[in-house]
Chains A and B, each alone.
Chain A
Amino acid sequence: MIGSTAHDGPHLRWPADRFYWAILDASSLSGRPTVRSRRQHERLGYLFESVLPGVTIEEVQAVYQRLPGSAKRVLACGFTRNVLEQEVDQYALTLSPQTLPAFVHERIEPAALNLLTGRFLPTAVRRGQRRLMLSIGLALALCAILAIVGLERRTSAQRRAHDDVLAARTAILEQVLGSAAPGIGADIPGIPGAGAELRLTAERRRLEQTRSHDVAVSELHDSARVLARLLGLWPSDVPAQTESLSISSTSITIRAQVPGMADAQRLADALARFRGWQLHQPQSESRRDHVQVTLRLGRNQEQDR
């Protein structure tokens, strides 16, 4: 294990015979034989200790490298810690064997077996790692702050839009119900604007009920319009004295006095043209100095409104 040392700048390369070597069977270890985790490192240390000649694992700085292939085999490489403390100067960054021992047939880069880890981690590396972690942390903090600022700006914009919507809502309610209308400000507790909205719903319902387009409900037979149309058909050249005139939704009855039968006929002919109404057989009765005529009209199927 003892041999000459070689310097490659801050990267130390020592002869392989100065190191403790072993190939460990890691099949007894649960899980993948990774050598990174602290727990796995300890377990491998116990395996390595069983083959160390007269030293405990606590006295040896060890690194482990998984050997390629399907078998769970791990190459263990160790060095006495006391010697490391004495021989490794403060400027060294790595320490690894120059070569691998002859019994290792797998292709492994010796430089990968760096022993300056853990408590032997060089101060410069440790400082670099801290600086890197600090930079990453600061970068993450900056990203988080920017993200929070962005989120808060969006939230603020959403709140402003919400306020605009509420203002538009109030404006609509004031426009429809009036600014002095109770209910604009008097809301149901816990439900903003519910009072005014209820009033709006009630107003709409009231208007829909009182302005119904349901013909059966709202439309009534307008006798005034019938009378107007009837008088429009009345022949001006017939000297008639109307005794009575009755208009209902289904019938019209006219009793009149005319000078002669021909006048009665002309009156009947004129009113027979009343669209939507059917003239029944006229009744005429000759009196001493006039003719008493009674005309009845019935409403047709094709009703004239």
Chain B
Amino acid sequence: MTKLPRAAILGVWVVALGLPLVISANRLAEARSELAAARSSLVRLADSAQRIVDLRGEQERIAEHKRPEQDVIARVSAALAQAGIAAEHFGGLRPESDAALAGTGHTGIAYRRQSVRVSLNDLSITQLGAFLSQWSATQRLWTPTRIELTHARSRQGSDRYDATILITATYLADGERR
């Protein structure tokens, strides 16, 4: 066996052994890299998921979009019914204002506030309290920001009142365009 064939055989031998070794090592490095990236992504995902679960457990404080008048009427009617107050006491609803919330938007999120005036007629203080209690428990988006009670003239001497309640909700300004 001459020197040249021996060197050639050695070269072939080295390549035959070394090439699969290098390929396997590369595959392992690639798998490790992918696993590390997947684990890192999983950690971020789990954090986000936990944050979402936590947020879902919290009360919604801000609406995603402006509530239409019909929606508010339905909510008031539902609260009246749940408080045991007849629907005839519901005197009507009137949109009051809808304006951008000052000082927001610098974080990239702009908010607006809409206010609606709800009229309830001929309620006793107990009924009013029941309604407000029910409203506060179920309608966290809408806050009674102004309450005006006027003694009901129709029943002189009775302890009943006409109530005008201004309810206000904050919503995402982006939601208005949706």
A residues lining the B interface (CB < 8 Å)? 38, 130, 137, 140-141, 144, 147-148, 151-152, 154-155, 158-159, 161-162, 165-166, 168-169, 172-173, 175-176, 193, 197, 200-201, 203-204, 206-212, 216-218, 220-225, 227-228, 231, 241-249
Interface centre among A162, A172, A224, A228 (most CB of B within 10 A): A224
CB contact under 8 A between A162 and B60, given known A223-B146, A228-B132? no
Q: Top 7 nearest A-B pairs by Cβ distance? A: A158-B31, A207-B55, A151-B24, A218-B61, A220-B143, A224-B132, A144-B17
What are the residues of chain A within 8 A of B56 when measuring CB–CB?
207
Minimum distance in angstroms from B1 CB to a CB of chain A? 8
**CB closest chain-B residue, reference A193:** B41
A-B contact pairs, 10 of them (CB 8 A): A144-B18, A151-B24, A172-B49, A203-B52, A207-B55, A209-B172, A223-B145, A223-B165, A224-B144, A242-B149
Tell me the chain B residues, 126-178 only, with Cβ under 8 Å from chain A. Answer: 129, 132-133, 135-136, 143-151, 161, 165-166, 168, 170, 172
Q: Is B31 within 8 A of A159, CB to CB?
A: yes
Which residue of chain A has the shortest Cβ distance to B24 in the bound complex? A151
Which B residues between 24 and 44 are near A, CB-CB below 8 angstroms? 24-25, 27-28, 31-32, 34-35, 38-39, 41-42
Complex-state Cα separation, A214 to B109, whole angstroms: 12
Binding site of B, secondary structure by majority: helix, strand, loop or mixed?
Answer: helix
Verify B168–A204 contact, CB threshold 8 A.
no
When the two chains form their complex, are residues A210 and B28 in contact, meaning their CB atoms are under 8 A apart?
no
Separation in Å of the B63 CB from the closest CB of chain A?
7
Compute how far the CA of A168 lies from the CA of B49 in the bound complex, rounded to whole angstroms. 12
A-B contact number at CB 8 A: 161
Complex Cα distance, B149 from A288, in Å, reads 25
**Bound-complex Cα distance A34 to B133 (A):** 104
Q: Which residues of B contact A231 (CB under 8 A)?
A: 125, 129
Question: When the two chains form their complex, are residues B145 and A245 in contact, meaning their CB atoms are under 8 A apart?
Answer: no
Return the contact of B143 from the options A137, A193, A222 (Cβ within 8 A).
A222
Which residues from chain B contact A169 at a C-beta distance below 8 Å? 38, 41-42, 45
Least distance between B159 CB and chain A CB atoms (Å): 8
A168 to B63, CA, bound (A): 32
- Chain A nearest Cβ from B132, distance in angstroms: 4
A152 to B150, CA, bound (A): 84
The yes or no answer to B67 lying at the interface (CB within 8 A) is no
- Once A203-B52, A228-B129 are accepted as A-B contacts, the answer to whether A165 and B149 lie under 8 Å apart by CB is no
For residue A154, which residue of chain B has the nearest CB? B28
Task: List B residues 14-28 near A (Cβ within 8 Å).
Answer: 17-18, 20-21, 24-25, 27-28
**Nearest-Cβ distance from residue A127 to partner chain B, whole angstroms:** 11
A172 pairs with B46, CB closer than 8 A: yes
- From 73 to 129 in chain B, residues with beta carbon under 8 angstroms from any chain A beta carbon are 101, 103-104, 109, 111, 125, 129
In the complex, the chain A residue whose C-beta lies closest to that of B146 is A248
Q: Which of A201, A211, A231, A248 has the most CB of B within 10 A?
A: A211
Residues of A within 8 A of B129 (CB): 228, 231
| C-alpha spacing A193/B45, complex, angstroms | 11
Q: Which residue of A lies closest to B169 (CB)?
A: A220
Set of chain A residues within 8 Å of B61, measured between Cβ atoms? 210-212, 218
Asked if A197 and B170 sit within 8 Å, CB to CB, the answer is no
Q: Are A244 and B51 in contact (CB under 8 A)?
A: no
**Bound CA span A161–B32, Å:** 10
Contact A224 B135 (CB under 8 A): yes
Chain B residues with CB below 8 A from A158, complex form: 28, 31-32, 34-35
The distance in angstroms between the C-alpha atoms of A243 and B152, with both chains bound, is 8
What is the CA–CA distance of A173 and B52 in the complex, to the nearest angstrom? Answer: 11
A155-B24, A209-B109, A212-B62 are known contacts. Are A249 and B144 too (CB-CB below 8 A)?
A: no
Q: Distance in Å from the Cβ of A245 to the closest Cβ of chain B?
A: 4
Q: B17, B20, B63, B103: which has the most chain A beta carbons within 10 Å? A: B17
Q: Which of A168, A200, A218, A228 contacts B48 (CB 8 A)?
A: A200
Name the one of A162, A209, A227 contacting B62, with C-beta atoms under 8 angstroms.
Answer: A209
C-alpha spacing A224/B34, complex, angstroms: 57
